[in-house]
Amino acid sequence: GRKVLIVYAHQEPRSFNGSLKRVAVEELSKQGCSVTVSDLYAMQFEPRATRNDIVGCLHNSDEFNYGVETWEAYKRGALSNDLMEEQKKVQEADLLIFQFPLYWFSMPAIMKGWMDRVLVQGFAHEFPNCYDSGLLKDKLALFSFTTGGSKEMYTKGGISGDIRYLLWPMQHGIMHFCGVKVLVPHICFAPECVSEEKRKEMLIAWAQRLKTLWKEEPINCSPEWYFK
């Protein structure tokens, strides 16, 4: 069976994001997938990229360069245990689902910290092996998130601009850079501002999409998809 890693960032299990995560676990498990969840808040995941991410001596003890040090540590198996555990989950996964509420036009800091710390050079990318030749090129990713604003607000003519503009740094700058193929994002607009019935419909729509997820084609990872 296929393996799925859900990287989940919400403080409250009973939240709508929590419900979306539960639906994904249930539906994908029904399909025979092996589903692993990294619940970042429950894990108290450390979002800060620091010297503590390297075990033992530094490559250059005179001047600390996080990118160089983690690259060297990855090559010699000297990254901290929490990073090695997350990298193992990523390595084993066919699909990465990122489940989160949109914060300030981006992902929550704890999830950005996961990206900063886990996707190190040597593991996820290594120039010139980036974008289509990134080291994670056999994997799929899907960003599933909620917004505070309505769908109309996130259009080209809306106050917040096209939602695709916000996806450029997350989907293209991180996932595609590492070679990951990106599926169309799953966006639940303003769940807090709609009826309970509408929220149930959103959860049903997510479950329905997951039933045929493996048949979907990734988006065309080019600037045109985001800015046309």
For 142-180, the pLDDT digits (tens) are 999 999 999 999 999 999 999 999 999 999 999 999 999
Q: What is the mean pLDDT of residues 33-38?
A: 98
CA gap 213, 216 in Å, rounded: 5
- The answer to whether 106 and 112 have CB atoms below 8 angstroms apart is yes
Q: Which residues contact 32 (CB under 8 A, 6 or more apart)?
A: 1, 2
Q: What is the mean pLDDT of residues 63-80?
A: 98
- The answer to whether 77 and 161 have CB atoms below 8 angstroms apart is no
Taking only the tens place, the pLDDT of each residue in 122-135 is 999 999 999 999 99
- The answer to whether 134 and 176 have CB atoms below 8 angstroms apart is yes
* pLDDT for res 39: 98
- The domains of the chain, with CATH numbers, are 3-227 (3.40.50.360)
- The answer to whether 223 and 39 have CB atoms below 8 angstroms apart is no
The confidence band for 228, taking pLDDT boundaries of 50, 70 and 90, is: confident
Residue 74's SS3 state is helix
Q: What is the mean pLDDT of residues 178-189?
A: 98
pLDDT at residue 44 greater than cutoff 90: yes
Q: Give the residues across from 140 on adjacent strands.
A: 95, 181
Q: To the nearest whole percent, how much of the chain has pLDDT over 70?
A: 100
Rounded to two decimals, the pTM is 0.97
Q: What is the mean pLDDT of residues 80-107?
A: 98
pLDDT at residue 53 greater than cutoff 90: yes
Q: To the nearest whole percent, how much of the chain has pLDDT over 90?
A: 99
Q: Determine the straight-line distance between the first and last CA of the chain, rounded to whole angstroms.
A: 37
Q: What is the mean pLDDT of residues 217-226?
A: 94
CA gap 131, 111 in Å, rounded: 21
pLDDT at residue 191 greater than cutoff 90: yes
Mean of pLDDT over the chain:
97
pLDDT at residue 97 greater than cutoff 90: yes
The confidence band for 107, taking pLDDT boundaries of 50, 70 and 90, is: very high
* pLDDT for res 182: 98
Q: What are residue 187's phi and psi, to 5 degrees?
A: -120, 125
- The answer to whether 109 and 49 have CB atoms below 8 angstroms apart is no
